Amino acid sequence: MGALLPGPWPLELLQEAAQAGCPGLRVEAVAQIDSTNTELMRRVRAGALPPPTLLVAERQTAGRGRLGRAWITGGPGQPGDLAALPALTFSLGVVLAPRDWSGLSLAVGVALARALHPALQLKWPNDLWLQGRKLAGILIETAQLGGQRVAVIGIGINLEPPPGDPDTLSVPPAGLRALLPACTAPGVLLQVLPPLLAALRRFEAEGLAPFLADYQARDLLHRQAVVLSDGTQGTAQGIDAGGGLLVHTSAGMRTITSSEVSVRPAAAPPGAPA
Ligand code: BTN
């Protein structure tokens, strides 16, 4: 894996790497911002985003996750010391015109997992997990700009687990350096960008179908007991062709598609192996 790349953000290399999947991608790097997603959405809403744009930040002061949650990164690392950054946080603003938008976060998750490491699993709908801990999250927002729809695809990848007691957090975090000890934020960005752009174009042309087999192979929830945020319990049975999560409940099979529903693995019974 070629994720070692110390030094300043390699903006030209990133632009070159993006050429095949997204000619003309504009790459911007900032030391600090509230949130890369918030910034790109502000630009779209102001009619000012010249898509396509990649915005990467060394630090976010108000990083956002799904369902209104905060996205917190941090730990050791000095401003400007890119080799020591504890996380990669970036957003991509691109015009997309898929026939069906459902399953986009799954396709993005598959592309990232494929690009990063065979050991990574996917937790519906938008997380990458490593050895039972959350490694990365995806936040996709869309807005209309003229006659086109812009997708802002925000990705946060922990290189080091964020501070805090992992055993008391509701979702314990993982860090990519556990798998790739020498990886750096610029190196990981260079590694994931071309496959991510290729996946977006493929999703636009063919939908979720080309990603389903890989999703299934990495599906963390498959045949697991799960609890939905509305309290419903059941057993996850994979995803349907549109990316909905199939959950077998006492009332029969339910397809979970709402972005307002979250899913967590049910607690293991006492005495079960960890
Ligand atoms: C989640 O797991 O709930 C999604 C987390 C998404 C975090 C990324 S970091 C870059 C971009 N900017 C944000 O404020 N959020 C996304």
Q: Is 173 in the pocket of ligand 1 (CB under 6 A)?
A: no
8 Å CB contact between 39 and 152: no
Q: Is 153 in the pocket of ligand 1 (CB under 6 A)?
A: no
Provide the pLDDT for residue 267.
66
Single out the residue of 86, 89, 46, 45 nearest to residue 65, CA to CA: 89
Distance 8 CA to ligand 1 centre (A): 23
Query: Which atom of ligand 1 has the smallest separation from the CA of 134?
Result: 2
Question: What is the model's pTM?
Answer: 0.91
Q: Is 162 in the pocket of ligand 1 (CB under 6 A)?
A: no
Provide the pLDDT for residue 4.
46
Distance 211 CA to ligand 1 centre (A): 22
Query: Which atom of ligand 1 has the smallest separation from the CA of 136?
Result: 2
Render pLDDT for 50-93 as a digit per residue (tens, 0 to 9).
679 999 999 999 999 988 889 988 655 566 688 889 999 999 99
Provide the pLDDT for residue 98.
96
- E-assigned strand segments in 34-126: 53-60, 87-95, 121-123
C-alpha count within 13 angstroms, C-beta hemisphere, residue 130: 22
Provide the pLDDT for residue 2.
44
Provide the pLDDT for residue 269.
53
Provide the pLDDT for residue 228.
86
Query: Which atom of ligand 1 has the smallest separation from the CA of 62?
Result: 14
Distance 54 CA to ligand 1 centre (A): 14
Provide the pLDDT for residue 48.
77
Provide the pLDDT for residue 49.
66
Spell out, as residue ranges, where the chain has pLDDT lower than 50.
1-6, 271-274
Distance 270 CA to ligand 1 centre (A): 34
- Alpha carbon distance 97, 111 (integer Å): 19
Q: Is 63 in the pocket of ligand 1 (CB under 6 A)?
A: yes
Close Cβ partners of 81 (under 8 Å, ≥ 6 residues apart): none
Q: Is 125 in the pocket of ligand 1 (CB under 6 A)?
A: no
